[in-house]
Amino acid sequence: MAKAPTVHAAAPDAPIMSETTKRRSEIPRAELELEATATPKSSRPQPAPAQIAEVTETTECVRPKDDDDGVVVIRDISRLSNISIHSDMLLQPTFFPWTLSTLSNACWRITNLSIKCTHIPTGTWSALLRFMSLPHLENFEIATDLVVCSNGAAFRDLQYFFTRHWTIHTLHLQGVERLDTPPTIRETVLPDLSSVMAHPIWIISLLEMQESYPDSLSHLKSIGISTEYYQFNFPFNYELFDAALVSVGNFSGTDITLTLRFMCEKGVSSWFAEHVALGMTNSVLCRLTCVSHLVISGGFFVEIATYAKANLSEWLSLFPCLQTVKFIDIAEEQMKKLGDPKFLMAIAMKCPKIKTVRIRRAVDLDELRRTGLS
């Protein structure tokens, strides 16, 4: 099957050319890599520029000829609905105006915006967040690579962005400003929010908003708390993790899916062990009556089986209303260890309310309780 071409949105005012002599060097390096419906006649492997955006519907474009390199230039940027800015280059001074122009031209169609950059000054984040106005934005992400190297977007700028984008359903924040204490959100934001993944400080701020605005976050069903891996491998403060879990315990929602994402291996083993030692009466996990579904993520980096398996079955038994458990983003070798039948039986025996554990596939614990290990 022929491979779909790499598709680029030309910079503002750039001429659209279909001649085979058009070279990729004529396209600004601040490129948008897009998915389009065109299929190249050549199956040669295509170069992989920085992934910046994709288009989800048919758009008028210049199609490649037999001896073209498979590049397709989008003629109408305003038709973009999914944009992923996954290169620092697009937010550097040379290309920043072009990026803002592209976002502005497509603003009425954009529903999904993902920004994954590593070394971006706070001032640039401020200019970007205060400039953007995306009336139909539903899914919004600001993240970095594994290592968090800078302070990222400031709380005040993100809050200002949220007050103007009430349509957001899904929110993912990683590597944004880290404050010593949870900041107060002074007006209700994100009324349609259904899913959030963020640093504990942000989870605390969002959930505490409900204390001042009881009708807020009425659609929230998925809460994700994430540790972060910092430059120079500084340890993560797991006291913040527990503080965020206290906020989850105070949340008025029901049938919540809680995701715990571990991106820093330091302190993981002791954190699981400490909750087991606290037991049924003292661990904050015993207060999470709103949590019915648990997802544990290792970020493809933290060895959950190595650090937590010894305490995991007892740790899971601390959740009072847990029905399902799922392990994701875990290396294959670690998945094999978690899939040990004896380990699954230990969960089945110590956690009678849990119905299903998914480790690559769903395991019915009720069936395991009936049949035992065979």
Is residue 112 a part of any domain in this protein? no
Helical H segments across the chain, by residue range: 96-105, 122-131, 155-163, 200-212, 238-250, 268-282, 304-316, 332-338, 341-350, 365-371
Please indicate, yes or no, if residue 355 is contained in any of the structural domains: yes
Mean predicted confidence (pLDDT) in 187-200? 96
Q: How far apart are CA 5 and CA 68, in angstroms?
A: 10
Give 96: exposed, middle or buried? Use CB within 10 Å, 0-12, 13-18, 19+.
Answer: middle
The 10 Å Cβ neighbour count of residue 342 is 7
Q: Which domain holds residue 294?
A: 221-374
Sequence letter at residue 199: H
Tens of pLDDT, residue by residue over 62-75, are: 344 444 554 445 55
Contact 358, 325 (CB under 8 A): yes
Q: Which of 34, 152, 31, 50 is nearest to 98 (CA)?
A: 31
In a domain, 140, yes or no: no
pLDDT band at 46 (very low <50, low <70, confident <90, very high): very low
Note the maximum CA span of the chain: 73
Domain assignment present for residue 325? The answer is: yes
- What pLDDT score does 49 carry? 36
Q: Is residue 238 part of a domain?
A: yes
Give the pLDDT confidence score for residue 362 in this predicted structure: 95
Count other Cβ atoms within 10 Å, centred on residue 121: 12
What is the structure's pLDDT at 2? 45
φ, ψ of residue 197 in degrees (nearest 5): -130, 125
List the single range of 234-243, 250-259, 269-278, 285-294 with lowest mean pLDDT: 234-243
Cβ proximity of 197 and 259 under 8 Å? yes
83 assigned to some structural domain: no
Length of the chain: 374
pLDDT reading at 35 higher than 70: no
Query: Please, what is the average pLDDT of the chain?
Result: 82
**For the residues 279-307, what does the mean pLDDT come to?**
93
Bigger pLDDT: 289 vs 374: 289
Q: Average pLDDT of 190-213?
A: 95
Q: What is the pLDDT of residue 191?
A: 95
Q: Which of 19-33, 144-158, 337-351 has the lowest mean pLDDT?
A: 19-33
Inside any domain, residue 204: no
Percent of the chain whose predicted confidence (pLDDT) is above 90? 63
Name which of 97-101, 147-151, 237-241, 313-317 the model is least confident about.
147-151
254 found inside a domain: yes
- pLDDT for the residue 310: 87
Q: How many domains does the chain divide into?
A: 1
> Which amino acid type is present at position 298?
G
